[in-house]
Amino acid sequence: MFESYKIAEHIRKFDAYPKTLEDFRVKTFSGAAITIVSAVVIVLLFISELNYYLAPEVTEELFVDVSRSEKLRINIDVTFPKLCCEFLSVDAMDVSGEQQINVDHNIYKRRLDEAGRPLEKPEKE
């Protein structure tokens, strides 16, 4: 019985909410218990939030965008005045990194003279 009273006296010292002067303060077991429980809850909540902050939840999602059309129309008009048409080709690469080598769909080449005037009709390659 004396042991439990001694433990209760030690716990009463943890009462963190006395509001009056020292002469009028009464440190109670319930006040100390509330202080200890509050401190434990605060520490547990802090550790929980710190763990939640340091280990973010990563969600991976992969989906196919079907809203795009299959082909992208590109119109270009490029003049190479000192290069023969035989040495020209068009290569393309899409977003995924897939290369389209020597693209020749609807590509027209036209020979020009030194002044840049056409010498013949455009040839579809």
Ordered by start, the domain boundaries in the chain are 1-54
Q: What is the model's pLDDT at position 24?
A: 66
Instruction: Give this prediction's pTM.
Output: 0.34
Query: Phi then psi for 109, rounded to 5 degrees?
Result: -115, 140
Q: Does residue 85 register a pLDDT over 90?
A: no
Instruction: Calculate mean pLDDT across residues 18-29.
Output: 72
- Band of residue 61 on the pLDDT scale cut at 50, 70, 90: confident
Tokens of 11: 């716990």
Task: Please give the Cα distance from 6 to 16 (Å, whole number).
Answer: 19
- Band of residue 43 on the pLDDT scale cut at 50, 70, 90: very high
